[in-house]
Structure 1
Amino acid sequence: MLILLLLLAGLPTYAQEAVHGGPVRALAVAADGTLASAGFDQAMILWEAGGGRPRAVVRWDGGAVNALAALPGGGFASSGEDGRIALWPAVPGLEPLRVLEGHGGPVAALAVRGGLLASASWDGTARVWDLGGGPVRVLEGHQGNVNAVVFRGDGLLASAGFDGTLRLWPGQGVSLTLAEFGLPLNALVALPGDVLAVGGADGLLRLVGPGGGVREVRAGARPIVAIAAAPDGRHLAVAGLGGSVTLWEAASLRLVHTLEGPGLPVWSVAYAPDGASLWTGGTDRRVRRWDATTGRPMGPIETESTEAPPAGLHPQGARVFRACSACHALTPAAGPMAGPHLHGLFGRRMGAVPGYAYSERLARGDITWTRETVADLFTRGPDEVTPGTRMPIQTVGNAEDLGALLDFLEMATR
């Protein structure tokens, strides 16, 4: 079925951004620079290091993906609304390498240190998982949602939650309240010297020392929902519901830059391994790249392909389909991808590709794909054409682009 995560359709090719099918809730960067982004469209997208082209799109989670973390060896962990944690290799297939289960509510944050993975959940617990298969530590003590976890430099796990407490977990399930602020805390990162940076509902950025001492500065009038530390720990990026991202010098809490976005909530931020650039994602569905030194937008994240389309195929349609190729192959010979292959699309019933794990709604097979039904899908959107599907909401609003895409598919999928 032609359900495509239209990452860039309808955007200028010079845009310094890329698009999800819903708000971007989480970002993570591997040591080689590979960026992972995820969000409310239930998709995790891996972007090639440097060039920023989509390398893979994974649609496995049973709800919104709220949290990502880079794993040792180049893979990623993802989790979210359904409470399961999926461990993915650097080159993901249709299924994760391993699934960690036990949380009774959505997972809000993940953190990795060596062979350990920590998770924060709205079931009121944090958990520490041994990636080698050892026992799981269940950490209870917060009153309400646990929103953030991080490993300090000394190896101790720290957590923050809706109850306004910042806690340390020295072992054996015992927690120490390092600080208490009386309002929900949403974001947490570790800095050198066992300092923790925490942000919450009052818009204040707080640095909490190993002994509990607090320094603070107002980062904005709206709640802070994400914080990232530069690799050397010298700078912080703070994102909030007000729509802008502020960059701070950690030692002095001096404001360095303000990154002006679209005025919509920014849910996620992550630095590149070299600290020279950072990415942001939020409610406008876009992943944006910025110069961390100047505070200016960089780009393009996705560049226009210089390859000519195959002979005889519609060039404009090939350009539109380029955004779809991260999910769908044109031939059955391609390896596993997030979506089924499109060979023989026209005249095929929905949910008919053998061996592909369709959702219950699409497996009904009550639509036959024709030029008219594919056009209807991208005009009204999958939420209208196939209500109940888990697929992201997207349309192709430009009639010329839609016609070109259909012309391309009619030839390329024969």
Structure 2
Amino acid sequence: MLRYGEILTTTSTVIVLLLLVGCDQASSTVSPTLPPAPASVTATVAPVATATPQAHVINLDNATQVTETAQLKADGVNSFFAVAWSPDGKWLASGESNGKVQLWDARSDKLVATLIGHSADVWGLAWAPDSSELASTARDHVVRIWDVHQAKQVRALLGQTMWGLGVDWSRDGSRIASGDYADELLVWNADSGQQIANLQGHTGDVEGVAWSPDGKRLVSGSGGQDSTVRMWDIASGKQLWQAQDILAGYRPLGNGKDEINGVAWAPNADVVATAHQDGRVLLWDANSGKRIRELSKHEAGARSVAWSPDGRLLASSGEDATVRIWDVSKGTQLIALKGHVTEAWTVSWSPDGSTLASASADGTIRLWGLPR
């Protein structure tokens, strides 16, 4: 894990420099601490494996100056359901309603490849840590692995009995986790494509999955009558805890309680964020399963959550067509970004924290530049 190295303070900015100094294993008995926020500024920094410090400064006094810097569109695409920035920052991947996966050059914003293989909507994307491969889930029941340099499928993970939803790649690159509409939470060997675990417990579609930074635990979120957050120990395959938080007076459509549409694990703390169909974004203690904080709410269902690379900010997207950025330590909303004309399905940060990408049912991917 990357640690904070040196903090240089001036009268108007704080620059946080990161040094690659190693990795610690957090004790399960230690309560998580949300990263503190400076009085007026927060820095987001790319977690890159380099001994050269790199920094990007975001002035929270100017949070309202977040601007839309680009719109990405592809011919024949009606809806984008997923977007994911590669760890090396060179690629932006998108998944859409025609079953295609697109690769965009993140520097030029140009479409450079279209990956064809899925036969239905692509709902989830996850990059290998070295950015060489990409995993995608779709309504065709198959998790597909793509070689991005050759722009071709190299493996198909077979075993899902209904369409795939959430997907995440462990940080050591060895395993992939996927959730599906048949209440299944599956773990795969990333190299061989063999299924190595089926973690049973959910009784609703598993829409969100996220690995812990050390790869020892997995968190999942579900919908339907289940609507729970569950934590799993990977070595034993046992559930460590489950939690549910239903908003008083909330009456969802259909038979569901409060769909959990997305989950994300903080990069530098034992804190999990969840996006809920009632519009709320919640923070949980990854060790105990206790709710830490509620971050206001979208005006319609919250669809996804994504942590900034340094864990100080959280972005969420919603069915109210907005993208929201939150100061995690204060629990306050910094800004609601408006531009999409219908549901914003997914958000993803660039690895240097300077840009946020959002994918929408309006057929656009919008890039939002954060103030320096």
Which range, TM-score by smaller chain? Answer: 0.7 to 0.9
Q: What count of residue pairs does the alignment treat as equivalent? A: 280
Task: Indicate the residue corresponding to 1:31 in structure 2.
Answer: 87
Question: Counterpart in 2 of 1:219?
Answer: 297
Q: In 1, distance between residues paired with 2:104 and 2:295?
A: 34
1:17 to 71, 83, 86: 71
Is 1:121 the equivalent of 2:196?
no
Give the drift of 1:164.
1.6
2:341 to 242, 250, 263: 263
CA distance, structure 1, for counterparts of residue 354 and residue 240 of structure 2: 36
Q: Secondary structure at the match of 2:316?
A: strand
Q: Tell me, yes or no, if structure 1 residue 152 matches structure 2 residue 212.
A: yes
Shift, 1:49, TM fit: 2.5
Q: Which residue of 2 aligns with 1:239?
A: 317
Deviation at 1:107, TM superposition (A): 0.7
- Give the one of 239, 250, 253 matched to 1:175: 239
Give the TM-score taking structure 1 as reference length.
0.65
CA-to-partner distance for each residue in 1:235-273, whole Å, 9 max, x for gaps? 111100001111001122121111112331101111001
CA distance in 2, matches of 1:68, 1:217: 25
Q: How does 1:254-333 map to 2 (within 5 A)?
A: 254-293=332-371
1:221, distance to aligned residue in structure 2 (A): 2.0
Larger Rg: 1
Matched, 1:166 2:220: no
Which range is displaced more, 254-263 or 198-207?
Answer: 254-263
Match of 1:303 in 2: none
Task: Give the match for residue 71 of structure 1.
Answer: 128
**Cα distance in 2, alignment partners of residues 208 and 27 from structure 1:** 24
CA distance in 2, matches of 1:200, 1:176: 21
The secondary structure found in structure 1 opposite 2:199 is strand
Higher strand share: 2
CA distance in 2 between counterparts of 1:106 and 1:266 reads 21
Cα distance in structure 2, aligned partners of 1:103 and 1:31: 27
Aligned residues of 2:307 and 2:315 also touching (Cα < 8 A): yes
Q: Aligned AA for 1:146? A: V
Any idea what the Cα deviations from partners look like across 1:331-369, whole Å, max 9, x if unmatched? xxxxxxxxxxxxxxxxxxxxxxxxxxxxxxxxxxxxxxx
Residue 31 of structure 1 and its aligned partner are, at CA, apart by 2.0
- Does the 8 Å contact 1:178/1:211 carry over to 2? no
Aligned residue identity for 1:37? S
State whether residues 56 and 92 of structure 1, in contact with CA within 8 Å, keep that contact through their aligned partners in structure 2: no
Going from structure 1 to structure 2, the CA distance change for 1:167 and 1:87 (only over 3 Å counts) comes to same
- The CA deviation string for residues 362-393 of structure 1, in whole angstroms up to 9 with x for no partner, is xxxxxxxxxxxxxxxxxxxxxxxxxxxxxxxx
- Give the 3 Å change call, closer, same or farther, for CA 15–207 of structure 1 in structure 2: closer
Counterpart of 1:188 (choices 263, 267, 274) is 263
Q: 1:248 to 1:293 in 2, by over 3 A?
A: farther
Which residue type is aligned with residue 289 of structure 2? Answer: G
Q: Deviations over 1:101-135 (max 9, x none)?
A: 10001111110112111001111111111113265
Equivalent residue, structure 1, for 2:105: 48
Q: 1:293 to 1:212 in 2, by over 3 A?
A: farther
The answer to whether the Cα contact below 8 Å between 1:219 and 1:246 also exists between their aligned partners in 2 is no
- The percent of aligned pairs where both chains have the same amino acid is 26
What CA RMSD, in Å, does the superposition of the two structures yield over aligned residues? Answer: 1.7
Equivalence for 1:200: 276
Q: CA deviation at 1:283?
A: 1.1
5+ residue gaps, structure 1: 1-13, 295-414
Give the distance between the partners of 1:51 and 1:59, measured in 2 at CA: 22
What secondary structure sits across from 1:129 in the alignment? strand
Q: 2:201 aligns with which of 127, 138, 141?
A: 141
More helix per residue: 1 or 2? 1
Secondary structure of 2:177's counterpart equals strand
Structure 2 distance, partners of 1:88, 1:135, is 18
1:81 to 139, 145, 152: 139
Tell me the SS of whatever aligns to 1:44. Answer: strand
Using the size of structure 2 for normalisation, the TM-score is 0.72
Task: Please list every run of 5 or more consecutive structure 2 residues that lacks an aligned counterpart in the other structure.
Answer: 1-67, 247-257
